[in-house]
Chain A
Amino acid sequence: MVSVLRFVDIAARSEGGAPDAELARVLGYEALAVEGLKRYECVGRVTLVPRHTFTLDTLSRVPRGNVLRVFRADSRARLKLTNRVVALAHAVEVGGELLGRLGRKDLRKLVNTIPHVIVRADEVYLRLTMAKSLEGLDRLLRAYEAGKIVLSIGSGNDYAARTGLKHGVVLAALLVTFGLSEAKALASVTSNPKELLRCAGYAVK
């Protein structure tokens, strides 16, 4: 979609090599946070930023330096935001069961410790096609609309697909259909992930 907006994909994955930067440019992306990338790269006009996802089990192997560090929680039991996690993580990725059920206290935990939340679109699509509950996402969106958290949405990687990336407007449209306002939905693919990259030490213009 031809757009003046410059998108940032905060949850891109590369399985064997860097993602297709040319495709990303055509889709209107100016930066991708890529899981598994060793170091910062700039291909064409697209900035590729390394991203590291860790859980409670892999806390000891978290890299330092300019890497976007994301704490992933896929169940209520795994959402333990200890001081160590809070000190390391730039954002929390909410996925799995948490998208189906996120408690009021879990949300309060997020609001009070790490208010940057990442959601992967491929997980949302998967739950939709399997007709599973998305109450947790709904709660997150309401908190985002109220300004309590900062939400970013990334494409994830679906079926190691031909495109891999999804268009920014498609991601925003997914949030709009859940009842989020258009401005907030567009911010979650443009300004919010940019702010997150800035936290990790990368200034994207």
Chain B
Amino acid sequence: MQLSSSYSCIVVAAVAIVAAASSLAISLLTARSLSRRIRRIEALASALTSRAVRSFIKSANAKRRVRKRYLVVRVVGSVGRAELNNLLLNAVRTLYGSVASGVYGVRVVDFDQRSMTAIVRLRSDGRWAVLAAVGAVESVSKGSVALVPLRMCGTLRKAREYVRRLRC
């Protein structure tokens, strides 16, 4: 009886030792895999530098649909619609070249002689360039015409409403 009980004790102890060892091994393994994962995440984070983020944003912007914008400008000086269109195109061409003048799609949509305001259609990606070109109209026309930007609208309807409000 005593022998059998001591034998069982030894068996239980052995099982406990095996269990402890296996759990230790498992925990060691999991710790190693965890540290590996952490290292991988750290490597990913270091790869995601500001340059990568910037290029991601750039590519995301490139995929975005290019919308139209409508720029309401006040015209200072005597000029007709066709002439104003030519002046604007010349200003864009002078600053950014022939390709840009075609790509930005600059066109005078509406011209109100009474309030001397014009609505210019352009592509949204060229809004800064066209705004800079608006400043150059004065030097392109040798001081005879100057344009003052009033408002940038998303739709032609809103731009026309704004011009109507200006007239009142």
Contacts and interface: CB of A to CB of B under 8 A. Distances in A.
A176 interface: yes
Given A1-B149, A1-B152, A161-B143, A176 B135 contact: no
A158 B150 contact: no
Nearest to B76: A162
A174 B135 contact: yes
A24 to B, nearest CB: 12
A71 B117 CA distance: 40
A1 B151 contact: yes
A56 B96 CA distance: 36
Contacts of A159: 138-139, 142-143
Given A1-B152, A167-B135, A128 B95 contact: yes
B-side interface mostly: helix
B125 to A, nearest CB: 12
A1 B130 CA distance: 14
Interface residues of B, number: 24
B158 to A, nearest CB: 13
Contacts of A170: 131-132, 134-135, 149
Given A1-B151, A159-B142, A159-B143, A166 B132 contact: no
A146 interface: no
B94 interface: yes
A173 interface: yes
Pick the most buried of B95, B96, B135: most chain A CB atoms within 10 A of its CB: B135
Given A2-B151, A129-B94, A170-B135, A161 B146 contact: yes
Interface in B81-104: 94-96
A158 B132 contact: no
B76 A173 contact: no
Contacts of B148: 26-27, 163, 167
12 contacts: A1-B150, A26-B148, A125-B139, A129-B94, A162-B146, A163-B146, A166-B135, A170-B132, A170-B135, A173-B132, A173-B135, A177-B132
Given A158-B143, A159-B142, A170-B134, 5 more contacts: A159-B139, A163-B76, A167-B149, A170-B135, A173-B129
